[in-house]
Amino acid sequence: MNNQDRSARGFMNDAEFVRKVLIVLGITLLALLLWKLSDVLLLAFGAVLVAILLHAASDALVRFLKVPSRWSLTAASLLIFILFLAIIALFGTQVRAQFSNVVERLPFAVDNFSKQLGLGPVSDDLSEIVSNAPTGGMAARLAGIGGAILNGLADFILVVIAGLYIAAAPRLYREGFVKLFPMHHHPRVHSSLQASGEALKLWLTSQLIAMACVAVLSTIAFWLIGLPSALALGLIAGIADFIPFLGPILGALPAILIAFSVSGEAALWTVLAVMAIQQIEGNVIFPLVARHVISVPPALALFAILIGSVLFGTLGLIFGFPLAVVTYVLVKKLYVRETLGEQTDVPGEPGSGSRQEAGS
């Protein structure tokens, strides 16, 4: 081999090495960028959930009320908006007053609960901490809380508006995402998106119905027990139920703490009522409203929620389970079936006939 051939081969090896280094650097930079944009990506995922909800509502209007397809999405959006305004008009003042009552009673309820445990009043310690805290620091904390509430409201409005845009032209965004991949992968990516979207629609519809049932049953139970602000406590329980496993516990805590401020008997009945409602939801409500809901193994779903909360904070806690739904569908379809060649049902695919239990 002459020197010219050796020089050419060495140049090719160097060029190949540089190409691989650039690929690794590009992947690393992309990963860092995605990490920096994680909150934005989670909000985009929330917008996708809003779009899926709107399409589920429009499909129901077409199926049950025979609304023309071209008007169904507009009708569904207006119906949800009018329903939201009606709820605010009918119960807004009462709910706001009851939420204020809950906020006022919670310190006393925490004190009463800590006394039951023999720990003494907690609010005195909190008052001492607050009184000894620098005024500027306390003002900064209050400003931070107000800013967090405003940011949360802004994020919610952004998600709803983006969801409306996605729902209005889903093909535009779906095809745009598919074109990010090589052409020979387009059919796989397209079918994976369809299966994931259908699985999310089934889960989201069932979850929202279950949340409404939990809110109604909790409100009735807390009212019968004699808890103050039963409507607000029931709404808290229903909204928190969106987060499987951890949500029912978090949603029940305000009711249980306030029940301790009423009496020990009320606290006992509240705990029993919460347990009974969760059993009714898991064994009666969810099986009735969910025909084919993705069956994420409970331990994996719980760890997915915890990992999401650790990595991404509140947004990760909220969207941890639906992200686990999408991941579960993609792993079963793209890895178990298409890579390993194993036969498995993929929830959300047309013709998937396996009856699945919900991880709720």
User: In terms of pLDDT, which residue wins out, 99 or 28?
Assistant: 28
- For residues 300-325, give the mean pLDDT: 88
pLDDT in the model for residue 182: 87
- Residue 1, pLDDT > 80, answer no
When mean pLDDT is compared across 31-35, 76-80, 90-94, 126-130, the lowest value belongs to: 126-130
Other beta carbons less than 10 A from residue 1's beta carbon: 6
Q: Which two tokens stand for residue 37?
A: 């944009």
Q: Give the residue carrying structure tokens 């306030």.
A: 258
Q: Give the residue carrying structure tokens 């898991």.
A: 282
CA dist., res. 37 & res. 133, Å (int): 35
- Residue 53, pLDDT > 70, answer yes
CA dist., res. 302 & res. 324, Å (int): 10
Query: For residues 43 and 158, is the Cβ–Cβ distance under 8 A?
Result: yes
Query: If you average pLDDT over each of 107-111, 184-188, 257-261, 262-266, which comes out highest?
Result: 184-188
- SS3 sequence, 232-284? HHHHHHHHHCCCCCHHHHHHHHHHHHHHHHHCHHHHHHHHHHHHHHHHHHHHH
CA angle 85, 61, 280 (to 5 degrees): 75
- Residue 238, pLDDT > 60, answer yes
Q: Which two tokens stand for residue 63?
A: 């199926």
Other beta carbons less than 10 A from residue 143's beta carbon: 10
Mean pLDDT for all residues in the chain: 80
Reduced to 3 states (helix: H, G, I; strand: E, B; else coil), residue 49 is helix
pLDDT in the model for residue 228: 84
- Residue 130, pLDDT > 50, answer no
- Residue 270, pLDDT > 50, answer yes
pLDDT in the model for residue 162: 94
pLDDT in the model for residue 151: 83
The C-alpha torsion from 7 through 12 and 14 to 16, rounded to 10°, is -170
- For residues 327-337, give the mean pLDDT: 89
- Residue 111, pLDDT > 70, answer no
- Sorting pLDDT into bands at 50, 70 and 90, what band is 167? very high
Q: Which two tokens stand for residue 264?
A: 């020990």
Give the DSSP per-residue string, 118-185: T---SHHHHHHHHHHS-HHHHHHHHHHHHHHHHHHHHHHHHHHHHHHHHHH-HHHHHHHHHTTS-GGG
Going from the C-alpha of 17 to that of each of 10, 20, 24, 31, 151, the distances in angstroms are: 10, 5, 11, 21, 46
- Residue 160, pLDDT > 80, answer yes
pLDDT in the model for residue 97: 75
Torsions phi, psi for 206 (to 5 deg): -65, -40
Query: If you average pLDDT over each of 151-155, 216-220, 261-265, which comes out highest?
Result: 216-220
**What single-letter DSSP state applies at residue 359?**
-
Other beta carbons less than 10 A from residue 325's beta carbon: 23
User: In terms of pLDDT, which residue wins out, 228 or 18?
Assistant: 228
Query: For residues 360 and 243, is the Cβ–Cβ distance under 8 A?
Result: no
- Residue 88, pLDDT > 50, answer yes
Q: Which two tokens stand for residue 290?
A: 């969910």
- Sorting pLDDT into bands at 50, 70 and 90, what band is 294? low
